[in-house]
């Protein structure tokens, strides 16, 4: 018996070893989270977890212990009571239109456009307006956890500059449209603008410049093809509204005896790196075309519901293997840029429309807002998940609100009870844009004051128009 205890003691005795601690690699930042949702191929979730970041990249994702053993961070961000996840990707918006939010709701589309939005745009869109509006949008996106967004508007170079200054990642499309608009009198002028814009920003680390033919019903065939050609020549994305409303389908059928998707196929419009927004009114043949052409699709459930546009066939897109992302659309038709609302709405709408409560579960909604969006924009090697070698675009989200208590499943809570306001930290390219809800790259008070000043002009423009 004594020998047995002696043996035990021997085994249990602390062994005094001069441990040869391997040198830890110096990195800029380690983020430690109560839960880390990676959105990697295995959809690994670490509770707890940590992300090591250096420069603009993620170096490694692992348990806090494993990361602590290997890395010596200059800064540690403790999000031990939070969820860490990839930054959200908004695949469709018109950033400066935050200036028109709530200006005119609950109207038929044509009345809304013709009596409010078009007059307001005609009288107010200017480089200054676009700059002020984009800063406001960027502030809202940083505050609500969006790290990358796709845009389509006018004076896109102003949007690019404001986006870069705010530190956000943007896939930004200069609009090309047949009728005269604030930044171009003709489509030729718009195309020249788009090319200058592409050349100016094509080597930017945050901005991916793009060309954005507005839609097939607002551009003739030569303009559509010139846009596609421009995109191909510069190897940049092409962004277009596709099959958003039943009216668009009617127009295409009357003029071309084809669906919008089939018409664009017939003229040779579809090319690489193309992102189609909405894709509500598509049939099975259209989905096959989009699949074959590897078109990314942006689903915008809130806008589609508020404007009564219809229901995009989300489950069919996913079954077909289409790269599907999520968008808010412009804040004039939503009325905000909160991707948590977009996730929730995507899930609710899919269940409602399919009469199936198992449709688009929380997990799938989160996929759409992260890796799905990255795939839709052809950027899945850079963003959309937390993996070594990808850009360090991530957010931390508080989970201590009353409405988040108790918690059984972090993914469910992210989709069903979390709001953008719960985001605590927003990091893009390894840079902390917001910490403890304090945005570092924009002066919040100035951005809000500028927007409120400009709003007076918008109010006047619409009052005159009515």
Interface residue list for a copy of itself (CB under 8 A) = 98-99, 101-103, 105-109, 112, 136, 139-140, 143-144, 302, 304-308, 310-311, 334-338, 345, 347-349, 351-352, 354-362, 400-403, 405-409, 412-413, 416-417, 419-421, 444, 447-448, 451-452, 454-455, 458-459
Q: Which of 214, 239, 213 is nearest to 378 (CA)?
A: 239
**How buried is 288 (Cβ within 10 angstroms: 0-12 exposed, 13-18 middle, 19+ buried)?**
middle
Q: Select 174 or 335, whichever has its Cβ closest to a copy of itself.
A: 335
The distance of closest approach from Cβ of residue 337 to a copy of itself in the complex, given in angstroms and rounded to an integer, is 7
Q: Select 8 or 122, whichever has its Cβ closest to a copy of itself.
A: 122
For residue 407, the SS3 value is: coil
Judged by phi (left if over 0) then psi (alpha if -120 to 50, else beta), residue 371 lies in alpha
The distance of closest approach from Cβ of residue 449 to a copy of itself in the complex, given in angstroms and rounded to an integer, is 10
Strands (E), 258-411: 274-278, 296-299, 324-326, 394-398
The distance of closest approach from Cβ of residue 217 to a copy of itself in the complex, given in angstroms and rounded to an integer, is 18
One-character DSSP codes across 62-117: E-HHHHHHHEEEEEEEEEEEEEEEEPEEEEEE-GGGGGGTTSS-S--HHHHIIIII
The distance of closest approach from Cβ of residue 299 to a copy of itself in the complex, given in angstroms and rounded to an integer, is 14
The distance of closest approach from Cβ of residue 454 to a copy of itself in the complex, given in angstroms and rounded to an integer, is 8
A 10 A CB-CB count for 111 gives 10
The distance of closest approach from Cβ of residue 353 to a copy of itself in the complex, given in angstroms and rounded to an integer, is 9
One-character DSSP codes across 276-287: EEE--S--HHHH
Q: Select 133 or 296, whichever has its Cβ closest to a copy of itself.
A: 133
Q: What's the CA gap between 223 and 97, in Å, rounded?
A: 25
Q: Which residues contact 80 (CB under 8 A, 6 or more apart)?
A: 32, 33, 34, 48
Q: Select 233 or 352, whichever has its Cβ closest to a copy of itself.
A: 352
Q: What's the CA gap between 402 and 191, in Å, rounded?
A: 51
Q: Select 320 or 448, whichever has its Cβ closest to a copy of itself.
A: 448
Q: What's the CA gap between 262 and 254, in Å, rounded?
A: 13
The distance of closest approach from Cβ of residue 292 to a copy of itself in the complex, given in angstroms and rounded to an integer, is 30
> Is residue 213 within 8 Å of residue 229, measured between CB atoms?
no
Q: Select 100 or 317, whichever has its Cβ closest to a copy of itself.
A: 100
The distance of closest approach from Cβ of residue 306 to a copy of itself in the complex, given in angstroms and rounded to an integer, is 6
Q: What's the CA gap between 181 and 162, in Å, rounded?
A: 21
The distance of closest approach from Cβ of residue 243 to a copy of itself in the complex, given in angstroms and rounded to an integer, is 16
CA distances from 152 to 149, 160, 237, 423 (A): 10, 11, 11, 26
Q: Select 27 or 447, whichever has its Cβ closest to a copy of itself.
A: 447
Q: Select 171 or 447, whichever has its Cβ closest to a copy of itself.
A: 447
Q: Select 219 or 426, whichever has its Cβ closest to a copy of itself.
A: 426
The distance of closest approach from Cβ of residue 451 to a copy of itself in the complex, given in angstroms and rounded to an integer, is 5
Q: Select 352 or 381, whichever has its Cβ closest to a copy of itself.
A: 352
Q: Select 156 or 422, whichever has its Cβ closest to a copy of itself.
A: 422
Helix/strand/coil (H, E, C) string of 150-191?
EEEECCHHHHHHHHHHHCCEEEEEEEECCCCECCECCHHHHH
The distance of closest approach from Cβ of residue 140 to a copy of itself in the complex, given in angstroms and rounded to an integer, is 4
Q: Select 140 or 367, whichever has its Cβ closest to a copy of itself.
A: 140
Burial 172-186 (b: 16+ CB within 10 A, else e): bbbbbbbeebbbbee
Instruction: Compute the residue count for the chain.
Output: 466
Q: What's the CA gap between 215 and 178, in Å, rounded?
A: 10
Judged by phi (left if over 0) then psi (alpha if -120 to 50, else beta), residue 329 lies in left
The distance of closest approach from Cβ of residue 256 to a copy of itself in the complex, given in angstroms and rounded to an integer, is 24
> Is residue 227 within 8 Å of residue 211, measured between CB atoms?
yes
């Amino acid at each position: 018996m004594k020998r047995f205890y002696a043996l035990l003691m021997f085994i249990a005795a602390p062994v005094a070893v001069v441990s040869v601690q391997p040198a830890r690699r110096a990195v800029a930042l380690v983020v430690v989270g109560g839960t880390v949702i990676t959105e990697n191929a295995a959809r690994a979730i670490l509770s707890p977890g940590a992300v090591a970041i250096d420069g603009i990249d993620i170096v490694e994702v692992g348990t806090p212990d494993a990361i602590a053993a290997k890395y010596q961070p200059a800064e540690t961000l403790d999000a031990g009571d939070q969820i860490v996840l990839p930054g959200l990707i908004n695949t469709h918006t018109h950033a400066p239109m935050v200036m028109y939010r709530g200006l005119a709701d609950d109207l038929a589309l044509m009345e809304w456009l013709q009596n409010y939005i078009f007059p307001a745009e005609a009288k107010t869109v200017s480089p200054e307006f676009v700059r002020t509006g984009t800063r406001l949008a960027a502030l809202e996106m940083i505050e609500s956890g969006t790290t990358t967004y796709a845009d389509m508007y006018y004076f896109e170079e102003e949007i690019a500059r404001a986006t870069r200054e705010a530190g956000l990642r943007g896939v930004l499309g200069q609009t090309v449209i047949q009728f005269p608009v604030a930044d171009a009198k003709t489509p030729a002028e718009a195309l020249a603008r788009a090319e200058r814009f592409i050349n100016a920003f094509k080597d930017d680390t945050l901005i991916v410049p793009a060309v954005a033919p507005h839609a097939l019903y607002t551009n003739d065939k030569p303009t559509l093809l010139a846009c596609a050609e421009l995109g191909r020549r510069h190897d940049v994305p092409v962004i277009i509204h596709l099959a958003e409303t039943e009216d668009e389908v009617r127009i295409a059928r009357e003029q071309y005896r084809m669906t919008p998707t089939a018409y664009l196929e017939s003229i040779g419009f579809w090319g690489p790196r193309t992102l189609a927004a909405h894709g509500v009114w598509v049939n099975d043949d259209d989905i096959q075309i989009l699949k074959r052409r590897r078109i990314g699709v942006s689903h915008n459930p809130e806008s589609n519901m508020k404007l009564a546009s219809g229901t995009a066939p989300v489950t069919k897109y996913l079954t077909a293997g289409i790269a599907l992302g999520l968008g808010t659309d412009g804040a004039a038709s939503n009325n905000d840029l909160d991707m948590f609302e977009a996730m929730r709405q995507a899930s609710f709408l899919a269940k409602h429309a399919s009469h199936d409560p198992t449709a688009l579960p929380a997990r799938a909604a989160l996929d759409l807002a992260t890796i799905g969006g990255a795939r839709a924009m052809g950027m899945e090697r850079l963003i959309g998940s937390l993996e070594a070698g990808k850009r360090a675009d991530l957010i931390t989200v508080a989970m201590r609100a009353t409405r988040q208590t108790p918690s059984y499943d972090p993914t469910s809570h992210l989709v069903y009870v979390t709001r953008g306001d719960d985001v605590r930290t927003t990091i893009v390219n390894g840079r902390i844009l917001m910490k403890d809800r304090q945005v570092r790259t924009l002066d919040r008070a100035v951005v809000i004051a500028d927007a409120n000043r400009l709003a007076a002009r918008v109010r006047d423009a619409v009052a005159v128009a009515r």
